[in-house]
Each structure stands twice: as structure tokens, then as C-alpha cells.
Structure 1
Amino acid sequence: MTPFLRNILVVARRDFLSIVATPTFLLFLFAPLFMIGMGALGGFGASQLADSARGTGRVVAVVGPGDVEPLREADARLRDALPGGKPATLELRVATSGVDPVTIAQEKGRDTYAVMIGPLASPRIVEREANSRSGRYLALLATEVLRARAAGSIAPAAPRFESLTRGGTSIAAQQSIGFGAVFVIFLLTLLLAGQSVGMLAEEKGNKVIEILAAAVPLESVFLGKLIGLLGVAILFIAFWMAMAAGAGFVALTQIDPASVAQAGASAPQLAVAPATGWPFFILAAFLYFVMAFLLLGAVFLGVGAQAATVREIQMLSLPITIFQVAMLSLSSAAANAPGSRLATIAQLIPFSSPLAMAARAATDDAKAVHLLALGWQAIWVALVVYLSVRLFRSGVLSGRRDWRFWKRTKDVAADTASRR
């Protein structure tokens, strides 16, 4: 092993143990539990609110006694067949003298979206919003009843349904898998790579970084810190994957095998799998996470090398976070439009390339292109580390504020002479 690699591993081991072997790491390890708990509470409250709001909505049909049952049967036929979700609950009333649809629409206790009154051939429909879906649904019910009466007693169609034994792969499912990979990589990268900023700024404050820089090359220090933080991230992911696998195993032991077999027989035949296959996709997604982590971690290391206080860290980290959110938006758009020019642009930009290529692995079965993408991203990792080291060496270790990124030989000699 060369001294350069040995120095990298020494720094990586030091940073890895300094993070893992602390009580606060347990809080960090279980932080997703708090996030999942708060998200579950918010989702439960939102679903309860949506269910209560959905239950109070209605449409009212005030018709003659002979039209009540035909309208109820037409509603039962059409309610589950219409696209865009089920219409509001239908309430049927027998018409009496002096009934005012406006009064019915303004009744308290329930939201009334539309009221239909009068003969079905020429009903009067009062709706809350002009040309609303509820008003059109009442008109459709009236038309359906009239059409059934005009056709007479015709027996309903008796179709024979058959299932495909091999239905292929769902394109929508592949795009959903790609978008899920983009979001998970972004979330994990942003959650785990941000530690590098505070760590380097803290070591700057207590002069540890200067001791390391005097003992080993600064490139080894930066790369070692990146690899150490990557080890922490991999440990974090492995822990939660083991927890998920254990929970899934426990759940499977509580399920009746007969019900599982019955559900599998009645499940849709379109396969839910990435285009490259699950083993290659999982491996590619992991490698792209590593590259995204190294890229963002190298940028954060460069930021932490320039920042001296917590305020400066926050001010410098905010633009990077906003930039990463923009990369997430670009990669999400690319995941929803595979093969487009937008997807190609997202795959070429270094900071969105890991996310976009992970989405491509879900929709495109080409595999050799991922080797080129990983090489392209590795070049940018090396470039960002090199720039961060030069910035740190030129601006921080020199102790000057009027520093320049590239110094000529005359400038270096003049600085040395002035210090003497």
C-alpha cells in the first residue's frame, strides 16, 4: 500500500470512529424514527380531515316516486366506472310541492354541490360552481335512466374477462421506481453529507486540521474524511436495511400462506421491476448514492474549510442546499421523461448525474452506459476535492485574507521574504 493510500485510510478510520463511538451517534441513527413518526401523524391527520370532508359532500336529486329506484340503480352502475375518482354521495328525495333547490343547497350540516329537480327529460340543476363535475354527473344519471327506459327490458351485457399470463412490465411502475430512487438518494445524501461541514469547521477551531495537514498531505486529509463519512453513511443505511428486513420477516410470519397465494393469483400480471433487473438496479443505485455522497460531501468539505463560525457555515451551506434541491427537481423531471433531451442534460450535469442515471437504470435496459457515468462522476469528485484543497491551502493555512487561488512563483517568494 502506498503512503498516500495509507494516510487516507488512517484519516478515514479516525473520523469514522470519532463519529460512531459516541452516544450522540445513536440519536443520529434513530433520527428517521422521529421523522417517520411525525410524518405518520401528519398523514393520519390529513387523511382524517380528507375523509371527514369527503363524507359531508353530497348531490341531491328531487324527483318523482317512480324515478327514485332507477336513479339509484344508475348511480350504482356509473359510480365506480367514472374516471377521476368517485362523485359525491347521491341523496334522493321525493318531490313535493313548494320544494326550492336553492334552499336545499344552502342546508347546514353538509356541503351540497348540486341539486337536480323536475322531470328527468328537462331537469333543473342548481350547482355551486358553474359547469361542475357534480352537476354533469346528475345530468348523466338522468340521461342514463331515460336511455334505459327507451331501450326497454334489454338484458345487460355479460362480458367474459380473461387475464394475461404474461403481461410484460409496467412502464408507469418503472418510472415510479426511478423517481423513488432519485428521491431516496437525494434525501440520504442531504441527510448524511451535511455532517462534513461542521466536522471540518470544528477541527479548524481547535487547530486539529493544521496538525493533520502538517503530518500528511492535505489531499489525504480531505479524501480520508470523505471516506470516513461514507463509512458512517453506509453503516446508517445497513442498519435501517437490516431493521426493514427484520420487520418484513416478522410480518411474513404473521400472514396466512393461503391468503398470500390467493392475493398473488389475483394480483395484476404486469411486472413491477426495473428495466435492468433488480440486482443490477440495486447495485447501480448504491454506487450512484456513493458518487452523489462524495460529490456533495466534497463540496461541503470545501465550504467547511472556508467557514470559521457557525454563522458562516449556515450562510455558505444554504446556497448549496438550494442548488441540490434544483438538481432534485431536474432529476425528477428527467425520471418522468426518459430518453428526452431534458433527461440527457440531467445525466451530463455532474451534480444531477447520479440521480438521473439511477432513474435511467429503472427505465432503460442498457448497462454499459452506467460505467461511463460512474467514471464521469469520479472525475468530478477528484476535481472538487482538488479545488477544495487548493482553496483551503491558499486561503486558510496561509492566514491571509487577500489570498489568490493561483499564486505565481514571484508572489510566493515575496510572501516568504516579507514574513522573514
Structure 2
Amino acid sequence: MSASRLSIWQAAFVVARRDFLAILLSKAFLFFLLGPLFFGGISVAAGALGAKAADSAEPPRLAVRLGEADSARFAASYAVLQDAIRLPEMETIPHGDPQSPEELLADGGRNFGAVLTGSLDSPALTGTPGELERWRGPIALVASEARGGGPRLLPEVALNPTRSSSADTRSSRVGTATAGITLLFLLTMLLAGMVLSNLVEEKANKIIEILAAAIPMDAVFLGKLFAMLAISFVGIAVWGAVAAIVLALGAAAIPPLPVPAVGWPFFIALFVTYFAMAYLLIGSVFLTVGSMAATVRDVQTLSMPATILQLAVFFLATFAMTDLGSPVELFAAVFPLSSPYAMVARAAQSPLMWPHILALVWQVAWVAIFVRTGARMFRRRVMKSGLGGRGKRRGKNPLPA
């Protein structure tokens, strides 16, 4: 079958296979795989950013379930002392609430760090050891003020430690979400640049003109885009294998990773899928930018807006992930370029799966729009460049009269 009879998808497969094998078997790709080792410093900085984001998340609250009179007196003393000492945010629970302190702590929607029960004379505090140590003194002071005993007659607070609370779980999941967004951003930023370099090299060598004469330009665009996506998966597989070996060898010294809300198997599958969506979206933008550039210098100039856009998307998703369901977080989940990042964060913090189904359908639709629009602009820019060059040559060598 001749090349002219190939469909767009068949021609795209031919281009993708050619680019994939050419890059995979090159020495430059081997050095490229070693490149992420030099990003260790960036990983440390990203970890610090994740810890800061976790600290800036919603702080845990104190649930107060005393008798009606004691609760009112405790709340009045709390209002008096909250400006003088550091007190946790408080919520009064009705005395007849059937939930146990452990059930209140496990309620993820209320974000309780500890539960105060008993009476003002014999208060009991149930929560994680960390929260108990931080709150036992301030709570004893408020209880003493509420019963009128003064600071010298502090009641003894009975401590009932638990293993964890929803506040601890939420904090750890925010850390997992930050790590997922950061890793997705680094991989996309690192791997999307290959699209530009490969395209500019082939434009300089006139290979694009040869391909344009043989197959549709839309097929060239699609083939190059999906070839780079396949190369990216090879890189991720290699780096993932190395990371797994490092984790296995240093398992004793590495603290256990916080389990995402959807579980590790679904989280990894969603992460890979969202990476593909993010790569196809930004890759189509980079290919379109590359079609406008004639030299490496032009690439550096024209790719700057796309790089700034990536950074803006990363910061938007990082800012929005600490408040699920807020207008900013919903905007980040709907905006096409930030949607993969926002949904990775949501997978780490929420166990619901149906939003991911909707998000993937939405992202696939936008990938189709971006790829189709990018292919049209790619064809127009490349063919315009080729025709312009031929026109200039004909102008220099006019036909005889």
C-alpha cells in the first residue's frame, strides 16, 4: 500500500513508531533518563512546600460535650481567654448526642482533633497523643476559669489517647496530594520539552517538508505527540523501578507513606491516566509553539508563555487542594489545563470515584479539542513556511518570458 493511501491514523502510527524507535535507541535518551537524579534538590524543596501546605490546611477543632450548664460556662470562659492564650477552635456538641468520642473523631467532615467530656470538675479529653499534649494545659485553664477556681486550682484532666483522628488523616492526605501534584508537574515539565527539541531539529533538517509531501500534516502532529507520550511512559517506568528499589532497600529508615483516600492501586492508576491527559494537553500546545519557531532561539522565546502557564496551573492546583469543594478548587478541576492536577489532589483526599469519571470524560474532550486545534495551526504554520520558502526561491529565479 502506498503512503498516499494511508489513513490519518495509519500515517500517524508510522510517524509515532519512527520517532519512538529513533529516540529510544539514541544515546541522548540514556543521558536524559539520568537527568532526574539531579533534581534531588528540587524534591527536597517540594517536600518542604508540601509540609508548609499541610500546616496551612484547616486546623483541627475541639469538640466540647459537657452538661448544658457546664458547656455554657466553658464557652463563656473560652470567649474570655481566647485572646490571651492560644486555644483551638471549639464546637459545642449537645450532651445527648449518641456518638461516642471515638465516632466524633472519625467523622472526616468535622475535623475534630480531640473531644472534651465529663464535667468542669473532672474533665476528660479524648484524642491523639499529640493533640492531648498540646491542649491539656489550655483546656484545664479554661475549665478552672469556668468553675470559678482561678488558675491555681486547675482540675486534673483525664487523658484518653487514640491512635488517630480525622484531623491527622486529613493532614497526611494533604501531604500526599501535594506530593502527587508536584510529581505530576515535574514529570510534565521535564518530558514535554522533548516535543519541542525533536520538532525544531527536524524542521532544521528539512525532514518536516519530506513528511508533509508524503502524508497529511495532521498525521505528523498526532504521530509526534503520541510518540513522545510513549517515550514518557518509558521514562516513568524506568524512574519508577529505580524509586521502588530505593524504597525497598531503605524501607526501615523511611516512614510509612500516607495512604491516599482512594487507596494506592486506584491512586497510581489515576495518576498515570491524569499524567497522559496533562501531557497531551500541554504537548499539543508545545507542538503548536514549535511549528512557529525556526531556530532554537525562537523556541526559547515562544515557549516562555507556555512554561509560565504550566507554573500558573501548578500554583493554582496547589492553592486549591486545601479546600475541597470551594469555588477555587472547583474552578481548578474544571479548567482543562489544571484539571489533571486538581483531580490528582482530590484522589488523595476524597474516596469518591464518580468525580474522576466525569473529569476524565471532560479531559478527553478537551484533549481532542486541543489536538485538533493544534494540528490545524501546525499544518497552517508549517505549510505556510514551506510555501513561503518556495515562493521566495521562485522570485529569485523567474521563468523566462
Task: Identify the match of residue 36 of structure 1 among 17, 40, 60.
Answer: 40
List aligned pairs for 1:101-140, cutoff 5 A.
none
**How far, CA to CA, are the matches of 1:390 and 1:341 in structure 2?**
34
Q: Are 1:212 and 2:211 an aligned pair?
A: yes
The amino acid that maps onto 1:26 is: L
**How far, CA to CA, are the matches of 2:343 and 2:29 in structure 1?**
31
DSSP 3-state at the match of 2:250: helix
Corresponding residue number in structure 2 for 1:172 = 171
Corresponding residue number in structure 2 for 1:105 = none
Corresponding residue number in structure 2 for 1:344 = 330
DSSP 3-state at the match of 1:366: coil
Q: Are 1:397 and 2:401 an aligned pair?
A: no
DSSP 3-state at the match of 2:384: coil
In the alignment, is the contact (CA less than 8 A) between 2:177 and 2:345 conserved in 1?
yes
- Of residues 340-349 and 387-396 in structure 1, the stretch that sits farther from structure 2 once superposed is 387-396
Q: Are 1:321 and 2:320 an aligned pair?
A: no
In the alignment, is the contact (CA less than 8 A) between 2:218 and 2:376 conserved in 1?
no
DSSP 3-state at the match of 1:398: helix
Q: Are 1:285 and 2:280 an aligned pair?
A: no
**How far, CA to CA, are the matches of 1:341 and 1:296 in structure 2?**
24
Q: Are 1:8 and 2:12 an aligned pair?
A: yes
Q: Are 1:236 and 2:222 an aligned pair?
A: no
Corresponding residue number in structure 2 for 1:47 = none
In the alignment, is the contact (CA less than 8 A) between 2:209 and 2:386 conserved in 1?
no
TM-score after normalising by structure 2:
0.63
The amino acid that maps onto 1:370 is: H
**How far, CA to CA, are the matches of 1:277 and 1:173 in structure 2?**
13
Corresponding residue number in structure 1 for 2:293 = 307
Structure showing greater Rg: 1
Query: Could you report, residue by residue, the CA deviation over 1:169-218 in whole angstroms, capped at 9, with x for unpaired residues?
Result: 71112222122211111111011011111211111111111211222222
**How far, CA to CA, are the matches of 1:303 and 1:166 in structure 2?**
49
Q: Structure 1 residues 156, 375: closer, same or farther in 2, change over 3 A?
A: closer
Q: Structure 1 residues 164, 392: closer, same or farther in 2, change over 3 A?
A: closer
**How far, CA to CA, are the matches of 1:392 and 1:233 in structure 2?**
22
Q: Residue 395 of structure 1: CA displacement?
A: 2.9
**How far, CA to CA, are the matches of 2:218 and 2:379 in structure 1?**
10
**How far, CA to CA, are the matches of 2:42 and 2:258 in structure 1?**
30
Q: Structure 1 residues 335, 25: closer, same or farther in 2, change over 3 A?
A: same
In the alignment, is the contact (CA less than 8 A) between 1:395 and 1:401 conserved in 2?
no
**How far, CA to CA, are the matches of 2:242 and 2:334 in structure 1?**
35
Q: Residue 296 of structure 1: CA displacement?
A: 0.7
Q: Are 1:185 and 2:205 an aligned pair?
A: no
**How far, CA to CA, are the matches of 2:12 and 2:215 in structure 1?**
9
Please, what is the CA RMSD of the aligned residues? 3.7
Q: Residue 250 of structure 1: CA displacement?
A: 2.5
**How far, CA to CA, are the matches of 2:227 and 2:381 in structure 1?**
25
Q: Are 1:360 and 2:346 an aligned pair?
A: yes
In the alignment, is the contact (CA less than 8 A) between 2:287 and 2:378 conserved in 1?
no
- Of residues 381-390 and 392-401 in structure 1, the stretch that sits farther from structure 2 once superposed is 392-401
**How far, CA to CA, are the matches of 1:327 and 1:296 in structure 2?**
11
Q: Structure 1 residues 162, 19: closer, same or farther in 2, change over 3 A?
A: same
**How far, CA to CA, are the matches of 2:274 and 2:151 in structure 1?**
62
Q: Residue 236 of structure 1: CA displacement?
A: 1.0
The amino acid that maps onto 1:302 is: T
Query: Could you report, residue by residue, the CA deviation over 1:42-68 in whole angstroms, capped at 9, with x for unpaired residues?
Result: x9xxxxxxxxxxxxxxxxxxxxxxxxx
In the alignment, is the contact (CA less than 8 A) between 1:330 and 1:352 conserved in 2?
yes
Corresponding residue number in structure 2 for 1:201 = 200
In the alignment, is the contact (CA less than 8 A) between 2:291 and 2:378 conserved in 1?
yes
DSSP 3-state at the match of 2:162: coil
Query: Could you report, residue by residue, the CA deviation over 1:210-263 in whole angstroms, capped at 9, with x for unpaired residues?
Result: 2112222222211111111111111111111111211222334x78xxxx9xx9
**How far, CA to CA, are the matches of 1:183 and 1:337 in structure 2?**
18
**How far, CA to CA, are the matches of 2:43 and 2:361 in structure 1?**
37
Gaps of 5+ in 2: 1-5, 48-85, 88-149, 389-398
Q: Structure 1 residues 156, 337: closer, same or farther in 2, change over 3 A?
A: closer
DSSP 3-state at the match of 1:308: coil
The amino acid that maps onto 1:35 is: F
DSSP 3-state at the match of 1:350: coil
Q: Are 1:20 and 2:24 an aligned pair?
A: yes
Q: Structure 1 residues 32, 322: closer, same or farther in 2, change over 3 A?
A: same
In the alignment, is the contact (CA less than 8 A) between 1:4 and 1:220 conserved in 2?
yes
**Percent identity (aligned):** 41
Query: Could you report, residue by residue, the CA deviation over 1:253-312 in whole angstroms, capped at 9, with x for unpaired residues?
Result: x78xxxx9xx99xxxxxx932222222121111101110011111110001111101111
Gaps of 5+ in 1: 44-81, 84-149, 265-270, 403-418
DSSP 3-state at the match of 2:262: coil
**How far, CA to CA, are the matches of 1:218 and 1:228 in structure 2?**
15
Q: Are 1:377 and 2:366 an aligned pair?
A: no
**How far, CA to CA, are the matches of 2:386 and 2:24 in structure 1?**
35
Q: Structure 1 residues 38, 186: closer, same or farther in 2, change over 3 A?
A: closer
**How far, CA to CA, are the matches of 1:40 and 1:363 in structure 2?**
22
Q: Are 1:334 and 2:320 an aligned pair?
A: yes
In the alignment, is the contact (CA less than 8 A) between 1:197 and 1:304 conserved in 2?
yes
Count how many residue pairs are aligned between Structure 1 and Structure 2.
291
